[in-house]
């Protein structure tokens, strides 16, 4: 398995995904900074804007939407390209069972996505908290309560990330179309991003529902890849 993971790392073009992740972090910082500025200047007009927890939640929504696109691009490199077109013969020629190849691809894509998302979230939230302390902290209640909300959103966002990408990837592979995959993902991101502006508990519940809904999609994708043959 270690050899397969090294092979995936060597043959996968990760630089576009890395630059994409950095762009997502920059966008989250910019939009989060805007919410911070609004909260400090005119937050009294909307109680939610005067809450640091809400501002951080909005930044994490941007991170979730952005990294779902990065993860979809990575899954295209790891799953769709090797199993379509001229790459299919090379993929099927490996003297290793398909299940081990798929498992290695899944672990590779999952580890890269999770580590990228966690690193991006850590950078974004740390910078925003430092800025908030420098300009005067928004009213947030106890630090323990804020930490609990952030951790809840972090864990459920990872689950939601898996769900969003799984649904879009399965539909895109079924249609053999990268544009369709991204169109479905953008549609899901638009709906989910709007709904995640609600309370943290409702957001967590929605993300868990998306994750559970994606399990059949992941299973169908696995079944399709296991049975695919040369034309």
38-59 mean pLDDT = 70
On whether the CB atoms of residues 63 and 25 are closer than 8 A, the answer is yes
Q: What is the pLDDT of residue 3?
A: 76
Q: What is the pLDDT of residue 47?
A: 60
82-91, 93-102, 166-175, 194-203: least confidently modelled range: 82-91
**Furthest C-alpha separation in the chain:** 65
Per-residue confidence band for 88, with pLDDT thresholds at 50, 70 and 90: low
What is residue 197's three-state secondary structure?
coil
Q: Which two tokens stand for residue 74?
A: 């990575």
Domain positions in the chain: 2-227
Percentage of residues of the chain with pLDDT beyond 90: 19
| CA–CA separation, 7 and 93 (whole Å) | 15
Q: What is the pLDDT of residue 23?
A: 95
66-82 mean pLDDT = 87
| CA–CA separation, 171 and 175 (whole Å) | 6
């930044």: which residue's tokens? 59
DSSP 176: T
Per-residue confidence band for 66, with pLDDT thresholds at 50, 70 and 90: very high
Q: What is the pLDDT of residue 98?
A: 75
Q: Which two tokens stand for residue 211?
A: 């994750």
Q: Which two tokens stand for residue 150?
A: 């952030």
């Amino acid at each position: 398995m270690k050899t397969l993971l090294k092979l995936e790392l060597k043959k996968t073009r990760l630089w576009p995904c890395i630059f994409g992740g950095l762009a997502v972090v920059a966008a989250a910082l910019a939009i989060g900074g805007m919410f911070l500025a609004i909260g400090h200047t005119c937050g009294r007009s909307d109680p939610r804007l005067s809450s640091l927890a809400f501002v951080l939640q909005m930044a994490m929504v941007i991170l979730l939407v952005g990294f779902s696109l990065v993860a979809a691009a990575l899954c295209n490199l790891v799953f769709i390209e090797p199993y379509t077109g001229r790459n299919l013969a090379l993929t099927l020629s490996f003297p290793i069972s398909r299940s081990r190849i798929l498992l290695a691809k899944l672990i590779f894509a999952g580890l890269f996505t999770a580590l990228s998302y966690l690193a991006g979230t850590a950078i974004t939230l740390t910078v925003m908290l430092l800025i908030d302390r420098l300009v005067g902290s928004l009213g947030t209640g106890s630090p323990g309560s804020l930490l609990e909300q952030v951790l809840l959103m972090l864990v459920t966002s990872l689950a939601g990330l898996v769900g969003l990408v799984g649904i879009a990837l399965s539909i895109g592979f079924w249609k053999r179309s990268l544009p369709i995959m991204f169109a479905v993902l953008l549609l899901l991101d638009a709906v989910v991003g709007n709904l995640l502006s609600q309370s943290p508990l409702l957001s967590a519940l929605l993300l868990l529902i998306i994750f559970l809904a994606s399990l059949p999609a992941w299973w169908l994708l696995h079944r399709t890849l296991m049975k695919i043959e040369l034309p």
